[in-house]
């Protein structure tokens, strides 16, 4: 279930410090809630978050979190048709990054490990 504040938002912003190892190697639940809700993701290009946003084309990748870069991103969001970004986000959330797919991958990996250990 998507929290109400995510469902009511227009974008999901990730202002994590790219130098923080936790931020670099994690993909927060809020990202996947945003994708499932078809929200535009706004972040810098680092770690799994940047990879997912870049590959899914579901948001805006900032060069930095500077006031100027944020201002330019918000101006773009206010002046451009963002429908495709939202649709890309929704597609990624429904078809690429969902619980069923993750469970299937995990089960497959376990089967591979089990079959290798019994050889």
Structural domains present in the chain: 4-117 (3.40.50.2000)
What residues does 52 pair with on adjacent strands?
none
Which own/partner contact pairs does 28-31 have at CB distance under 8 Å and 24+ positions apart? 30/6
Sheet arrangement for strand 59-62: 11-14, 40-44, 59-62
C-alpha–C-alpha distance, residues 85 and 66, integer Å: 22
What average pLDDT does this structure show over 28-35?
Answer: 89
**Cα 86 versus chain centre, distance:** 12
The CA-based dihedral angle spanning residues 81, 85, 88, 93, taken in that order and rounded to the nearest 10 degrees:
-130
Give the predicted TM-score (pTM) of the model: 0.80
pLDDT at 5: 86
- Is residue 7 within a helix (H) or strand (E), and if so which, with residue range? helix 4-7
pLDDT value at 23 more than 80: no
pLDDT value at 18 more than 70: yes
How confident is the model over 51-75, as pLDDT tens digits?
999 999 999 999 999 999 999 999 9
pLDDT at 119: 65
How confident is the model over 79-114, as pLDDT tens digits?
999 999 999 999 999 999 888 888 888 899 988 988
pLDDT at 115: 87
pLDDT at 1: 74
Shortest CA distance to 77 belongs to which of 33, 32, 42? 42
């Amino acid at each position: 279930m998507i929290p109400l504040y995510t469902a009511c938002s227009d974008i999901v912003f990730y202002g994590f410090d790219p130098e923080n190892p936790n931020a670099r190697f994690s993909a927060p639940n809020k990202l996947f809630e945003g994708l499932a809700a078809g929200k535009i993701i706004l972040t810098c290009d680092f770690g799994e978050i940047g990879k997912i946003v870049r590959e899914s084309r579901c948001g805006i990748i900032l060069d930095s979190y500077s006031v100027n870069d944020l201002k330019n991103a918000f101006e773009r969001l206010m002046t451009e048709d963002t429908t495709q970004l939202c649709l890309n986000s929704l597609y990624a959330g429904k078809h690429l990054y969902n619980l069923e797919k993750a469970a299937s991958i995990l089960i497959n990996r376990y089967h591979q490990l089990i079959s290798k250990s019994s050889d």
